[in-house]
Structure 1
Amino acid sequence: MALVRDPAFWKRFSAAMHLDEEAKTETGPKKPTIWTDHWIEAQRQKRRRTFICGILIFLIVAIIVAAIVVVILWLKSKNWLKPETEAVPMDLKRRERAARFASLLPDYHAPFSAIDRAIINKPIQDLVYEVQNDSLAPLDVLRTYGKVAVKAHEKTNCVTELLLPEAESWAQSEVNLKGPLAGVPISLKDSVQIKGFDITLGYTKFACKPYKEDGPMAKLLKDAGAVPYAKTALPVTLLSFESANALWGHCLNPHVPEYSPGGSTGGEGALLALGGRIGIGSDVAGSVRVPAAWSGIYSLRCSTGRWPKVGVNTSMAGQEGVASVFSPMARTLNDLTYFTKAIVGMKPWNYDHTVHPISWREDEESEAQNKKLRIGLMSNDGVVPPTPAIARAVSTTVAALTAAGHTVSEITPPAAADTFTGLSLASQLLNSDGCVTFNSHLHSFEPSDPGADQLTRICNLPRPLRYLYYLWVRYIRRDEKWATLIRGFGPKSAAELWKLTAQREAFRATWHSWWDAETQQYDFILCPVNATPALPHKAMHDAVSSCGYTFLWNLLDYTAGVLPVSHVDAKKDALSGPYKKVLKQLGASNAVAYGAWKHYDAAKMAGLPTAVQVVGRRWQEEKVLGYMAAVEEALEQYQDPVTGEGGKYPLIELD
């Protein structure tokens, strides 16, 4: 009311109305007033401030959300967001294991006797003969190999579950001493089901949950006469060429302890290298072949359906895009062949519905071993070139085979199904769940494998961020191979998985046609097992994707065997310059190659084994073992007149 009585207000109002009346009578545009100018400018400034404030608020919210997402992803990768359940103390199983070793009879801790050494040096075929003819007591054989396990474990931490003294009872009552493996002690990857013992897979979640009965694999072995005496080390997740976990610790290489024995069946590799005789492992990307190569033993990756797989556990149950297979490992090729033949002769299809009823074909093994061979050489997978030590092992093998009268020529894989395409496709199939399953078994604060962690971080990135990462690697770093792998990582829908499965079948069909072509009538393919010798512990963070030389054959489901050739030499195998410079000269400037080669040091690696891989077609176990025998014979008879390369591979001598 005071405003209404104010003369100044009415004066201003009258003036404004007068101006409005004048504006109405004017022809042409309205003339702004000082009052309207101020009002319009104020509105503009207000809108500008509102817009700027909106942008700032949006940016702040976006930064907060991004920070929360990053923290959640980081916590998730560290397994800190999982609901806490009852977890076994990290050191409980180690204490139990130590108590088992300490409670063994004094004989198990005694030095090797002359009788022990004689038993250890006998091929298993001879052991079986002597056990069945009462020349050897099964208990004496078991106690000798119990000593082997004790001494090997002291050096490498290779045993998870010591199956003694229970194995003594099995040797005297449960095993079939008329079987083809009568009285032969056998070590098993930790994932095999044995009554009275856990299958931890390196996870605390599965500790202290012993099984009440043997699985089909263990039943078959006991019916064959074998005596399980130890379960051996593997990595948590089972997706690593390392063999370490928080539950059991690191398994060490039997030649150079600062390095990995391989994985995921690394404990078997270490135990067999140090005197064990035969063992069983699993292989989804190279897990029985890399330990054989890095520890200096022999192994055979069987095709699916040729070797039993029921009665074992895995970190990724239901994953069949690239199927895991259980396969034999041995200290010698002779034992590997006899062992494989014995298991197939037991008609494993009567124990396991997944095994095809294919009897042992003796004639194929003999023919493969006793003819002049045509061999295809894959010296480079096109992603990670072999390091000098591995290249030397391959070239020595080629020279030995050529000197023995065999024909070796470099192959060109089919263009539509090259090795890198295989690596990319296999990686997507194997981790099509986005790394969810193998991480789901980890308790809060339980560390994972460094390589699996690397894959998990990439898979957990939101799709837009992962695509931006791909663009940066592809177009800024100009690394097409690593970028392609990054883009393929991440969880897949059912439709996407079906599409990948169709691509896998087309990939297999292409290779089948390629090998059938007249110009490619090779008996087998010779190639490296891995681009490097054994890598240092925890190196899988960088080298997790350097698995193309083995993973390709899993994707194709081909039979592949590994045999040792030589050892790393500090001088012969030294790099000619910085590893990135050498890789650039080789045309391999990509992150996968960098991750493997950055750990290569011939001086530090001196004494580590080097090996080659012999690859046959599907369900050709007999032929591949025969080819391996031909390769081994050629190497034993060969000696380079200049370098002295060749000769019989020397196994580790027992203390």
Structure 2
Amino acid sequence: MLPPFDYLTYRRIRNQKQADRDRRFSSLPHPYLLGITKSDKEIINQPIEQLVEDIQTSKTSALTVLRTYGKVAVRAQKRTNCITELLLPEAESWLESEVNLKGPLAGIPVSVKDSLQVKGFDTTLGYSSLAGQPFPEDGAMIKLLKDAGAVPYAKTALPITLLSFESANGLWGPCLNPHGLRYSPGGSTGGEGALLAQGGRIGIGSDVAGSVRVPAAWSGIYSLRCSTGRWPKAGVSTSMAGQEGIPSVFSPMARTLNDLTYFTRAMIGMQPWKYDHTVHPIVWRDELEVEAQNKPLRIGLMSNDGVIPPTPAIERALATTVAALTEAGHTVTDITTPNGADPFTGLNLASQLLNSDGCHHFNVPIRSFEPSDPGADQLTRIAHLPRGLRYLYYLYVRYIKRDSILATLIRDFGPKSSAQLWPLVAQREAFRATWHNWWNAEPQQFDFILCPANATPALPHKAMHDAMSSCGYTFLWNLLDYSAGVMPVGYVEVARDSLDGPYRKVLRRLGSDHAVARGAWKHYDAIQMAGLPTAVQIVGRRWQEEQVLGYMSVVEQALEQYRDPHTGESSRYTLLEID
């Protein structure tokens, strides 16, 4: 259809989908519209193991639990616009006929990213062209959840294109950060971050460059990026089907570390390889999780990726974590990344692999004049430049602007033929081999690497126009396919986290005054960001999900016991109050 009629179709579908969603919320049964009670708060804060046991022994009704989290969803949606498709009251009927209440997740409500396929509901990914096409059957992931006893109850917000740390699209609008409504909750699984921060229990998202880890960092929750083949990925939709240069992985998110660990263990215990041919039959190894928690650890510290220095709030969160671990008896050592396989080389390689189609596929479903993500738009414009013009642009940035970082990212960014793509895949494998050998060698042999999840706390809405390349602290581990977890540490504080001068002057002092770093740092303002969560990332090796969760437990215990020498008090992050 030609514009303007295509645009009018988008507007009509957008209005219809939002009106349908509003009706579903307003027509919920009366119990969902009541206030959060004391007993609701007890359910929300009850350890997941005890809640499952109470449901299995009929001490607590699964319907009561579902209605508690339904109330949470109603309030979270009103505040942050985090839900796309509300699965209530269908979830009530699933409790009676499809959910296995004897499973390891008996009666636990689980929210899922909009991209998961649920029977009877659209999977729009934020594209109006994908609306009005409800799936006739549950995807494999939803089937697995129901067989485990979990109850899917909401699908959550994401960005159009799925390539952004924002979670906004023209179909559903922007999702807001509950810690500060002017800020993004992260992306592309930002709806999960917002809902879980406000009292949700468990979520499932996808991650190709940090899409479960940045929402965790920016929303103040926990997430685990699983290695490929450890967690199911069937039964989902994507904006880049067939892209395997940097495979997207679906992974768990949770409000607490205990929930995250229990959920991950339960899902793998369900033998997901029986549901999805891409899953390796690796059983859950309890002994590795326990071992990780019961020995002095050797930790490698990557405080700066050499591209974007951490802003003061993130630098302080990292320093606090290092001090807590050191005080707890662990050894933390600064690392020097392998020669020829440094994080910037990885960022450039991963960017080319991920967008080797020239940004074609994620743009195909967008109707004329339908809003896209500002960062994805910039990538598209660069990728669509004729090769000669792109090279001239590279020369201008490299030699006139004297920005070697941005110039390098521009130079080879564009559509690749098979003859061009294969050498990139070979480079990826060589990059992985270099890191494998480096980690094995002395003096490394670290148990895990500690680093930021992002250089900044949550950024304002639409900041991706400037900060589209601020993904290096997470993207590196996707390229390597390492297991990585994110956990909150504290909050931005004005007195301790403000810049000591204009941001460009600070970046010049740090030797990082280039466009990629400026794009992230220009939005950093400790006064405006006060109260936003800060976080760190715990990185293990491939298929080390058990160990990473064990290491996260060690870090959490160390932070809980640590007392800030400036205040004499714990600066540990506390969950948002549920009202």
Q: TM-score, normalised by structure 1?
A: 0.87
Q: Does 1:390 align with 2:337?
A: no
Please show how residues 393-472 of structure 1 align to structure 2 within 5 Å.
393-472=317-396
2:13/2:131 contact within 8 Å kept: no
In 1, Cα distance between the equivalents of 2:553 and 2:92? 34
Q: What is the CA distance between 1:641 and its match in structure 2?
A: 2.3
User: Which letter does structure 2 place at the counterpart of 1:446?
Assistant: E
Q: In the superposition, relative to structure 1, how do residues 238 and 345 fare at CA in structure 2: closer, same or farther (>3 Å)?
A: same
The partner residue of 1:266 within 184, 190, 208 is 190
Q: Does 1:510 align with 2:510?
A: no
Q: What is the CA distance between 1:415 and its match in structure 2?
A: 1.1
2:187/2:211 contact within 8 Å kept: yes
Please show how residues 152-301 of structure 1 align to structure 2 within 5 Å.
152-301=76-225
Cα RMSD of the aligned pairs, angstroms, is 1.3
In 1, Cα distance between the equivalents of 2:513 and 2:176? 31
1:148/1:276 contact within 8 Å kept: yes
In 1, Cα distance between the equivalents of 2:279 and 2:421? 25
User: Which letter does structure 1 place at the counterpart of 2:37?
Assistant: S
2:226 corresponding residue in structure 1: 302
Q: Does 1:131 align with 2:55?
A: yes
User: Which letter does structure 2 place at the counterpart of 1:489?
Assistant: F
Q: What is the CA distance between 1:208 and its match in structure 2?
A: 1.3
In 1, Cα distance between the equivalents of 2:539 and 2:180? 28
2:293 corresponding residue in structure 1: 369
Q: Does 1:533 align with 2:457?
A: yes
Which digits, 9 at most, give the CA deviation of each residue in 1:262-285, with x for residues without a partner?
000000000000000001000000
Q: What is the CA distance between 1:81 and its match in structure 2?
A: 10
The partner residue of 1:108 within 32, 39, 42 is 32
| Aligned-partner SS, 1:375 | strand
Percent sequence identity over aligned pairs: 73
1:48 corresponding residue in structure 2: none
1:82/1:443 contact within 8 Å kept: no
User: Which letter does structure 2 place at the counterpart of 1:292?
Assistant: A
| Aligned-partner SS, 1:352 | coil
Please show how residues 479-498 of structure 1 align to structure 2 within 5 Å.
479-498=403-422
The partner residue of 1:98 within 10, 22, 27 is 22
Q: What is the CA distance between 1:172 and its match in structure 2?
A: 1.8
Q: What is the CA distance between 1:644 and its match in structure 2?
A: 4.0
1:144 corresponding residue in structure 2: 68
User: Which letter does structure 2 place at the counterpart of 1:555?
Assistant: L
Which digits, 9 at most, give the CA deviation of each residue in 1:47-86, with x for residues without a partner?
xxxxxxxxxxxxxxxxxxxxxxxxxxxxxxxx96998896
Q: What is the CA distance between 1:248 and its match in structure 2?
A: 0.3
Which digits, 9 at most, give the CA deviation of each residue in 1:476-520, with x for residues without a partner?
111101000011211111111001000000000000000000211
In 2, Cα distance between the equivalents of 1:640 and 1:536? 29
Q: What is the CA distance between 1:91 and its match in structure 2?
A: 1.6
Q: What is the CA distance between 1:171 and its match in structure 2?
A: 1.2
Please show how residues 570-581 of structure 1 align to structure 2 within 5 Å.
570-581=494-505
User: Which letter does structure 1 place at the counterpart of 2:439?
Assistant: W
In 1, Cα distance between the equivalents of 2:456 and 2:300? 21
Give 5+ residue unaligned stretches, structure 2. none
| Aligned-partner SS, 1:229 | strand
| Aligned-partner SS, 1:197 | coil
In 2, Cα distance between the equivalents of 1:653 and 1:444? 42
2:533/2:573 contact within 8 Å kept: no
The partner residue of 1:119 within 9, 23, 43 is 43
Which digits, 9 at most, give the CA deviation of each residue in 1:422-478, with x for residues without a partner?
000000000001101000110111111010001011111111111111001000111
2:482 corresponding residue in structure 1: 558
1:396/1:646 contact within 8 Å kept: no
Which digits, 9 at most, give the CA deviation of each residue in 1:221-258, with x for residues without a partner?
00000000000000000000000000000000010000
| Aligned-partner SS, 1:91 | helix
1:33 corresponding residue in structure 2: none
User: Which letter does structure 1 place at the counterpart of 2:245?
Assistant: G
1:400/1:646 contact within 8 Å kept: no
Which digits, 9 at most, give the CA deviation of each residue in 1:372-418, with x for residues without a partner?
10000000000000000000000000000000000001000001100
Q: Does 1:324 align with 2:252?
A: no
Q: What is the CA distance between 1:89 and its match in structure 2?
A: 2.4
| Aligned-partner SS, 2:536 | strand
Which digits, 9 at most, give the CA deviation of each residue in 1:516-546, with x for residues without a partner?
0021110000000000000000000100001
Structure number with greater Rg is 1
| Aligned-partner SS, 2:227 | coil
User: Which letter does structure 2 place at the counterpart of 1:465?
Assistant: L
Count of equivalent residues: 577
